[in-house]
Structure 1
Amino acid sequence: MSFKFTAPIEKNIKTGTIVAGQKLLRHPAALLAAILFLLAAPVSAQDSTWTLADCLHYAQVHNLSLQEQEIDLRVARMNYQVSKLSHIPQLSLASSYGASFGRSINPTTNQFENTRFSSLGLGASSNVLLFGWFQKHYTIKNNGLSLEQAAQARQQSGNEVAMHVTTAYLRALLAKEQIANVRYQIDISREHKSRMERLLEAGRSNMLEVSQARTQLATDSGLYYSAMLHYEQALIELKAILNLDFTVTILPVPVKDYEPPFYSEKTDPETLYLQAAAQHPDLIRSGLGVNIATRELKIARAGSLPQLSTYYATGTNYSSSFYEMLPNGERQLMQLGRQLNNNLYHSFGLGISVPLFNGFTYKKAIRGAGYDIEKAKLAELVARQRLRQNIYTAYTDYELTLKQYFVAGSVAEHAKNSFHGAQVRFDNGLITHVEYLTEQNNFLKAQNEVTALKYDLQFKKIRLDCYRTGCGE
């Protein structure tokens, strides 16, 4: 949020002269105080305005479900990066230091001694897989596909959150417009109640008609509070989805590019399905599931193959009880460097592992992987069928709701004319008071029906565009 400050210029109402801007500029302290006052002032209504795009962008970062999906994505990325290092040969270093008391084996002489001594050991070993790395290779590929799958799952969750945000946002706009409709109705009812009370005082009405007018005003007031309740509930739901502080003020505004007039969808549902199938995260994830299952079969088959590896190890040790004989016949403790050099050893070898009989574990794994491929292919078909069904349903809903909207608009226009005509006829005593109130209620009902269908159309149009280009865009 940025603040743009300009020196205020006030106009003296009495003298008509400019009195403020230049004074502030001549007094830096006053100018600084004015800036601090503006920064500390409450946020204006304009700053509380949230467009649908603002809500969508905020939700993509702060929504709790998406944050959880982001962690899953990081875990998948970590698994993939770690698995890529499995091709690197194993290398380990070891060291030990200890003290022995009583009868024990001297590590340098490999003989039992009944003495007290300390010993030091150093060693290193390495192992390299020469043949049989197919399991590791396919596992790395699978972890890469799992990473892509996690990314698509994150995208799918983002799309679902975007639709939840859109639903709550449009619900708030619907309630807001219905509040305006009821306020207009209340103004009419309040004016009519006052008029009927004046007619009663003049002897041209009766208490029944006055009571009916008061009842109508009370009923409209109840509708107003009901609309206010729906508005606040929609905002609370929206803030919960956004993971936004409930004390923050949100003022929704009409969604650009989705205001009336509405037009029939130009793209047929099958074409729309083909567009969506190429980029829909659920379908992409299902396709990746088939690839993962196929590689799992390769991993299972690779587990039954022989493995050939080579190893190398080296080490040395030192003991405080290892003495050497001097030419003069005396004994002295051999120095650390000489002991480590004299006791240095190396070993090298090849190892082969051939699975012969293990209770048909590998055969079971291979057969199970084959079944998993069939299940993954069926899951992909189910996902495609579900997407096609959803698109055809959304397309049909939009087209039929569009027709309902046009009909409701015509009904609302006729109800408006009927109500205005009823006002004239009632003023001239041509219809009863009950007939007048009936026309008034029909007018409000028609207005609310048009309003509800308008936002229903907006949601269904946004849903179609979501299939076409992706949600949250």
Structure 2
Amino acid sequence: MFRIQIYLIIFLSLVVGNSVWAQKNWTLTQCISYAIENNINLKEYEILEKISLEDVRQSRRNMLPGISASTSAGLNFGRSIDPNTNAYVDTEFFNNSYGLSSSIAVFNGFRIQNRIQYQKFKQQASEYLRTNATDNLAFEITIAFFDVVYYKGMLEIAKEQVEASELNLKTTERKTELGLKAKTDLLEMRANLEQEELNKIQIENAVQTATLRLKQLMNYVSRDEMNLVDEAPLVYSEEVNQPQQLFDQFTTWSPYYRSIEANLKATEKVLSLSRSELYPSVWASGSFNTGFYETNTDELGNTIRFSEQFKNNRNQYLGASLSIPIFNRWAGRSDVKKAKLEIERAKTNLEDEKQKMFFEMVNNLTELEAMHKEYKQYVKRSEVDELAYRAADRKFQQGLIDINDYYIAKNRLANTQSQVLRSRTQWEIKMKILEFYKGQRFWEEEESVQ
């Protein structure tokens, strides 16, 4: 009996736990945080950043001397050269050699130092690109989030339309039976109800599509329904009429522009690397070699022991080399010219991106102001259309207006409500963009408050 109670408790806890998870409310911040943790594309950026960091570390290691070791062993047959005496012998013998060598660049036109700086700038660009990808994902989630909010709001409006039509249809059916309403009105109401049912089905499909898009961006693999909660109050700021000041502020911290600037600096280091190919290079090197030869014998003809030969056959080498580029078919100077052109290209690209961003910012600020006015006007119109619909409904029930006038008022109210919902969601997105322009990652701030 006790064991059965334990199993029952476990079963109930699992059922309740799954039910709670399925009914979990998702705020915009939670959706973005989940996406940042699980989005597959972001993981690729993280890998690329780790690769660039390893490139930086390796460029620093290139300042160390290179060391290599070698060994060989062989068995000679027939007529061959004795590696000990360089004389021809006709006997079979075994030989074994060992070597250790090292080299280091004393001077190579500061190529290694420039390579280190180049990899540092590339690593910074990679880091900024990952941050920028995170920001882009946050706004993709924001748009997808409000798409779901919008379509769910539209679905509520459609349900209210259907419920009102069903109620009126029942009333009209009774009045038609009593001879108080024409059958044409009844048929018209049935036709409109079927159209509203179709509209509701289409919106339900749009909700499913928008929700699937949001889950895909979040990499949220679950069939549970997502209950989205839009709790952020809308506060319109009047201090958004200086796009140039906002643009100057944005470009100083924007990870996207910082990545372009880092790539520009990396391109400048490519020029330094190309110039270093025109300078002489000095290398220092050294080596240690020894070996064992079966043909190396003592006065009695016995092969000298391995330990003695390893000691006696040692030879060391220390040296330096100087390489001066004299003529390489102008390839080096051509690389310098192309590197300069790449710098000009990178600068042009930076200015072009800034110009695009400035006009995009001006357009967003203009749309924000227009949407604020539009939303307020639609709210006022919605209140008026609500009163007009209620009046039309009473008049229709009393037979004072025909069915066409009734549906004109009814559809006008539904259209106005949908416009209120549309303008509000678009306004919220624009407000989030404005916050981002000001250097505020709204999803991080809301998360820290929680």
Q: CA deviation at 1:203?
A: 0.7
Q: Identify the residue that residue 348 of structure 1 maps to in structure 2.
A: 318
Q: Which amino acid in structure 2 is aligned with residue 288 of structure 1?
A: A
Q: Distance in 1 between matches of 2:61 and 2:210?
A: 50
Matched, 1:125 2:101: yes
SS in 2 for 1:149: helix
Q: Identify the residue that residue 449 of structure 1 maps to in structure 2.
A: 419
Q: Distance in 2 between matches of 1:437 and 1:45?
A: 42
Q: Distance in 2 between matches of 1:96 and 1:389?
A: 69
Report the structure, 1 or 2, having the larger helix content.
2
Q: Structure 2 residue aligned with 1:386, among 339, 348, 356?
A: 356
The number of aligned residues is: 441
Q: Structure 1 residue aligned with 2:289, among 310, 315, 319?
A: 315
SS in 2 for 1:323: coil
Q: Distance in 2 between matches of 1:323 and 1:126?
A: 32
Q: Identify the residue that residue 111 of structure 1 maps to in structure 2.
A: 87
Q: Identify the residue that residue 62 of structure 2 maps to in structure 1.
A: 86
Q: Distance in 1 between matches of 2:387 and 2:8?
A: 58
Q: CA deviation at 1:128?
A: 1.7
Q: Identify the residue that residue 239 of structure 2 maps to in structure 1.
A: 266
RMSD of aligned residue pairs (Cα, Å): 1.9
Matches within 5 A, 1:430-441: 430-441=400-411
Q: Distance in 2 between matches of 1:108 and 1:47?
A: 85
Q: Distance in 1 between matches of 2:407 and 2:359?
A: 45
| Residue identity (%) | 22
Q: Identify the residue that residue 343 of structure 2 maps to in structure 1.
A: 373
Matches within 5 A, 1:200-211: 200-211=176-187
Q: Distance in 2 between matches of 1:197 and 1:263?
A: 49
Q: Distance in 2 between matches of 1:37 and 1:345?
A: 81
4+ residue segments displaced more than 6 Å: none
Q: Which amino acid in structure 1 is aligned with residue 20 of structure 2?
A: S
Q: Distance in 2 between matches of 1:133 and 1:61?
A: 45
Q: CA deviation at 1:124?
A: 0.7
Stretch of structure 1 that moved more, 385-394 or 30-39:
30-39
Contact kept in structure 2, 1:236 and 1:246, CA below 8 Å: no
Q: CA deviation at 1:47?
A: 4.5
Q: Structure 1 residue aligned with 2:390, among 381, 406, 420?
A: 420
CA gap of 1:120–1:133, structure 2 versus 1, over 3 A, is farther
Matched, 1:336 2:306: yes
Contact kept in structure 2, 1:264 and 1:399, CA below 8 Å: no
Q: Structure 1 residue aligned with 2:14, among 28, 36, 39?
A: 39
Q: Identify the residue that residue 30 of structure 1 maps to in structure 2.
A: 5
Q: CA deviation at 1:50?
A: 1.9
Superposed CA offset, 1:277-304 (max 9, x none) = 1111121111112211211111111111
SS in 2 for 1:278: helix
Q: TM-score, normalised by structure 2?
A: 0.94
Contact kept in structure 1, 2:52 and 2:122, CA below 8 Å: yes
Q: Identify the residue that residue 34 of structure 2 maps to in structure 1.
A: 58
Mark the runs of 5 or more structure 2 residues left unpaired by the alignment: 445-450
Q: Identify the residue that residue 448 of structure 2 maps to in structure 1.
A: none
Q: TM-score, normalised by structure 1?
A: 0.89
Q: Distance in 2 between matches of 1:452 and 1:387?
A: 25
Q: Identify the residue that residue 242 of structure 1 maps to in structure 2.
A: 218
Q: CA deviation at 1:116?
A: 0.9
Q: CA deviation at 1:265?
A: 4.0
Q: Identify the residue that residue 172 of structure 1 maps to in structure 2.
A: 148
